[in-house]
Amino acid sequence: MKTRILGNCLEVSALGLGCMSMTSAYGPAADRQAMISLIRSAHERGVNFFDTAEAYGPFSNEELLGEALQPIRDHVVVATKFGFDIDLISGARAAGTNSRPEHIRAVAEAALKRLRTDRIDLFYQHRVDPSVPIEDVAGTVKDLIAEGKVKHFGLSEASIDTVRRAHAVQPVTAVQSEYSLFWRGPEQDLLPGLEALGIGFVPFSPLGAGFLTGKIDEHTQFDASDFRSVVPRFSQEARQANMALVDVVKAVAQRKNATPAQVALAWLLAQKPWIVPIPGTTKQHRLDENLGAVELELTAEDLHMIHEQTDRIALLGDRLPEAALKMTGL
C-alpha cells in the first residue's frame, strides 16, 4: 500500500477506512464479528488509517474499532472525534454541539477506554461549536497532546478562517470534510488554504455516499434509518437528474478497465498528494474494489476530460439537510 503524509508529520496509507457505516447512518448496524474481520482484513491489505467518532452509535463504533484493532494497535493510526452534545453515560444526544474544554477532556478519556488504547492518534473537532472560541478548543487539545493522550489535532467541516485560528494555537494535522466529484465545495477556499498552511485533507463520503459507484439510481429505496433518505441530493428527482455525473465516471471507468468507484477515488488521489480519502464499506468485495483505486492512474488527459465534462453538469439538491448544513463552515 502506498502511503501519504498528513500535515507534514503523520504517515498513513493512501486510503483509510471510514468505519461509520458499520454501526450507523446507512441503515441497521452490520454484524459485529463480520465487521471486526473486515477491519482486520483492511489492515492485512495495507490500510493503517481508521476513522471513527463517539457520535457513531453513539459509542458503538469506537467500541467496535477498539476490539478489532487491539491486537494490532501499535501498527495503526486511529482517528476519532469530539464536539457533539452527547451524554457520556447514557449516550443520549441533545441538539447542537459541545466543545467546552471540560467536555473535550471527558470525551477523550471515554474514547480511550472504548478504543482500548492509551492515546488517540488524531483527535478531530467533529463540528465547530459557535459558543466556544476555537482558540479554547485548540488549547485544550494542545494540553491533551502535552499529556500524551492525543498525538495530533484535526478539525472537521470547518472554514479556512477557523482552521487558521486553531492552527495558530495548536498545529492542525488534518481537516476532514466532504469532498468528491459529487461535492467539490472545498476547492473554493479550503484546499488552497490548507496547502498554504501545510495541513492534510481527509475527504469523507469520497464516493458521494455511494452515488458515484453507479449502484444507486432513481429507483433505489433507502431504509428509514439511512441518512440518505432525508438528504435533498438523494431525493428521487435529484438522483434522476444527477445521473449525468455518474455517466461521466462510468465512461472513464470503461475506458480504463476499472469500476466507477475506483475512478472516483483515483480522481481524489490525483488532486493533491496530501489528500487521503476514507471510503467506508461493510462488504469485503467493496473494500477490495476501493483499494484497487490506489493503483489506478488517471492521466492529465483523463483529468482534463473529467473536469471539462463535469463542469457542464449542474447538480440538483443540497448535500445535507438544512439543519446539518448550518453546522458546517463550508
Active-site positions read 56
**Sign of dihedral through CA atoms 321, 286, 267, 44?**
positive
Q: What is the C-alpha separation between 21 and 279, in angstroms, rounded? A: 10
Q: What is the 3-state secondary structure (H, E, C) of the chain?
A: CCEEEECCCEEEECCCEECHHHCCCECCCCCHHHHHHHHHHHHHCCCCEEECCCCCCCCHHHHHHHHHHHHHHHHCEEEEEECEEECCCCCCEEEEECCCHHHHHHHHHHHHHHCCCCCEEEEEECCCCCCCCHHHHHHHHHHHHHCCCEEEEEEECCCHHHHHHHHHHCCEEEEEEECECCECHHHCCHHHHHHHHCCEEEEECCCCCCHHHCCCCCCCCCCCCEHHHHCHHHCHHHHHHHHHHHHHHHHHHHHHCCCHHHHHHHHHHHHCCCECCCCECCCHHHHHHHHHHHHCCCCHHHHHHHHHHHCCCCCCCCCCCHHHHCCCCC
Burial of 310: CB neighbours in 10 Å, binned 0-12, 13-18, 19+: middle
Q: What is the C-alpha separation between 266 and 273, in angstroms, rounded? A: 12
> Taking a C-beta distance cutoff of 8 angstroms, is the pair 81, 141 a contact?
no
